Amino acid sequence: MIGVVANEAEHRVVVEFFELFKTPWEFHRPGTHYDILICSNSMVPENNARLLFLYGTQRQAFEECRSIRTISASRHDFVSFRGERMPIYGSCLLFNSPGNEVLIHERTKSAAVVSVASGDQMVVRVGFDLFEEVRYLLTQGQPAEFASIPTLDLHLSLLCELIVSCGVPLVEILPTPAEHHFIVCLTHDIDHPRVRNHKCDRTMFGFLYRAMAGSIINFCRGRRSLRQVALNWKAALSLPLVFAGLAKDFWNQLDRYLELESDLASTFFVIPTKGDAGVDSHGRTRTKRASRYALADITDDLNKLLSTNCEIAVHGIDAWRDSAKGREERRRIQEITGTADIGVRMHWLYFNSQASLSLEKAGFSYDSTVGYNETIGYRAGTAQVFKNPDVDHLLELPLHIMDTALFYPSYMNLSDEQAGAAILPLIENATRFGGVLTINWHDRSLGPERLWADFYLGLIDELKSRGAWFPTASEAISWFRKRRSAVIEGVIHEGDSVRMKISVDEDEGNLPGLRVRVHKARSTNDRIRPRREYAEVTVNRSSEINVSLS
Ligand SMILES: [Zn+2]
């Protein structure tokens, strides 16, 4: 059991941190024995913990008593955790003390962690403020330049590594569903479901330019095949017939999505109001943001979705800043779905520090806006579903990969090959850390002039071959709620086996089970890692389990 000492202001962040690092813990109660005690910027209470963590950026008694010299590093600096770069967003205290090389400050090569054995206790002094880092990631998010780093998942991995390598065993429930390596949420924002809604507007002229001139330019750069150029020209020339209702609307790609994803689930975010551009964070209205379709225009599509295993959610306009408008946006889509719980993603990813509160007040079950328009990666530093510490119920399904970020000339502007290479580290991180990889492929992206279907198909095949589970966004959220409901109690180590009681809320659906992992403690003298570092058991309902480590 971990005991945590933190000041009142940090409590909500601490609670959320331990929903992500799902291991037995509680706030420190005087007189209770803890195997591990974590002190964040606070006085160290009397204790007999085997492992004591001292986090904080100010000098503490620990270094005073040992005459360890320290220097303060500036904010937004990098440390290296076993060769991997990890940004620290607050300041960082560095120690002039040999011995611990697990976390090295990149610029000065000084240690950001010091471990000292003191009697039966191992003391680990960490020179940053863990819970402030977590708060920053979950509420502000990383700047786009550090998007590729799963910073929060690295913090979790670092703490786990420090505990196990100090000779203390650890039990956790992984953010990974049983029988899978990670989760993938395939999502589609419905922004432009029909080209015929854009007769002679700037969207249509933009399309014509990109389909005709743009295709030729991209052909010359080797980014388009002759077949693709022909498809785009054919589509452009067919426009008058599409407007007359005599040719297929080539932006309506729903059937194609249903075919490609026939054995998978996916989620479609639908804009509830036509012609409403909403207001951005500066109070400006950008007319271009208004949708040109009404729900009545896509009744056929909605009915098709309702008859499959797909989910319909809200692609919100003003919900992020106005909970009354959010309630109305939610009501309009819930009239179609008839479901009690519904999620939201804001159109153009409009969001600010108050947005989670507003969306919660509007009655949404989850949001999936926290991502980047201009790049791919981890705004909150994690692939896990999380809760902003300031709200009570709304969960966040972070968004990681958006087609437009990969291919738009003003964003990453990648070729298919480059895009594949850019996504690969995210897939590898998902395999290492678990969590969910959320992908947004827009409604019209399979059709002319984008023609991003081949890439999308290749990506899905790759994810399937890596053992991902493909639920709807709501199902992924439900699975994480089930994990959040789990409590591990009464962990007893007996020789080479570990007994414990797990209680978990029953789910009505057929959600995959939870993976309970018991990490073997490593002897601090072990240079070589043991052959088997952990054992796992799958749990689906409240039960007593016995995990054998031999
Ligand atoms: Zn949108």
Report CA(270)–ligand 1 centroid distance (Å).
Answer: 9
Q: What does the DSSP 8-state code read for residue 379? A: S
Q: Which helix (H) or strand (E) holds 197?
A: none
Report CA(316)–ligand 1 centroid distance (Å).
Answer: 8
Q: What sign has the CA pseudo-torsion 461, 466, 469, 472?
A: negative
**What is the spatial distance between Cα 550 and Cα 547, in angstroms, rounded to a whole number?**
9
**Is the Cβ–Cβ distance between 314 and 269 less than 8 Å?**
yes
Residues 6+ apart with CB under 8 A from 227: none
The pLDDT, as a whole number, for residue 207 is: 96
String of DSSP letters for 257-326 = HHHHTTTS-EEEEE--STT-----TTS---GGGS-S--GGGGHHHHHHHHTTT-EEEEEESSTTT-HHHH
Q: What share of the chain is helix, strand, coil (3-state, %, to 5)?
A: 35, 25, 40
Would the pTM count as exceeding 0.75? yes
**What is the spatial distance between Cα 501 and Cα 521, in angstroms, rounded to a whole number?**
20
The pLDDT, as a whole number, for residue 302 is: 97
**What is the spatial distance between Cα 34 and Cα 28, in angstroms, rounded to a whole number?**
8
**What is the spatial distance between Cα 297 and Cα 277, in angstroms, rounded to a whole number?**
18
**What is the spatial distance between Cα 442 and Cα 508, in angstroms, rounded to a whole number?**
31
Report CA(192)–ligand 1 centroid distance (Å).
Answer: 9
Average pLDDT, the chain: 94
Report CA(278)–ligand 1 centroid distance (Å).
Answer: 12
Report CA(300)–ligand 1 centroid distance (Å).
Answer: 20
Taking the CB of residue 11, how many other CB atoms lie within 10 A of it? 14
Report CA(466)–ligand 1 centroid distance (Å).
Answer: 29
**What is the spatial distance between Cα 153 and Cα 435, in angstroms, rounded to a whole number?**
9
- For β-strands 182-190 and 436-440, DSSP reports them as parallel
| Residues within 5 A (CB) of ion ligand 1 | 189, 191, 347
Report CA(388)–ligand 1 centroid distance (Å).
Answer: 23
Report CA(359)–ligand 1 centroid distance (Å).
Answer: 17
Report CA(346)–ligand 1 centroid distance (Å).
Answer: 7
Report CA(42)–ligand 1 centroid distance (Å).
Answer: 45
Q: Cα 236 vs. chain centroid, distance in angstroms?
A: 38
First to last CA, the chain: 22
The pLDDT, as a whole number, for residue 347 is: 98
Report CA(131)–ligand 1 centroid distance (Å).
Answer: 33
Nearest to 444 by CA among 404, 471, 412, 406: 404
Q: Read off the tokens for 531.
A: 């052959």
The DSSP bridge partners found for residue 88 are 77
Report CA(312)–ligand 1 centroid distance (Å).
Answer: 14
Radius of gyration of the chain (CA): 25
pLDDT-flagged residues of the chain (< 70): 99, 523-532
Helix H, strand E, coil C: the string for 42-83 is CCCCCCCCCEEEEECCCCCHHHHHCCCEEEEECCCEEEEECC
Report CA(451)–ligand 1 centroid distance (Å).
Answer: 18
Report CA(423)–ligand 1 centroid distance (Å).
Answer: 21
Helix H, strand E, coil C: the string for 307-324 is CCCCEEEEEECCCCCCHH
Residues 6+ apart with CB under 8 A from 262: none
Report CA(397)–ligand 1 centroid distance (Å).
Answer: 16
Report CA(345)–ligand 1 centroid distance (Å).
Answer: 8
Q: What sign has the CA pseudo-torsion 380, 477, 394, 158?
A: negative
Report CA(191)–ligand 1 centroid distance (Å).
Answer: 5
Q: What sign has the CA pseudo-torsion 220, 222, 226, 232?
A: negative
Report CA(478)–ligand 1 centroid distance (Å).
Answer: 24
CA distances from residue 115 to 58, 201, 330, 386 in whole angstroms, order as listed: 17, 65, 52, 31
Q: Read off the tokens for 221.
A: 């750069």
**Is the Cβ–Cβ distance between 308 and 337 less than 8 Å?**
no
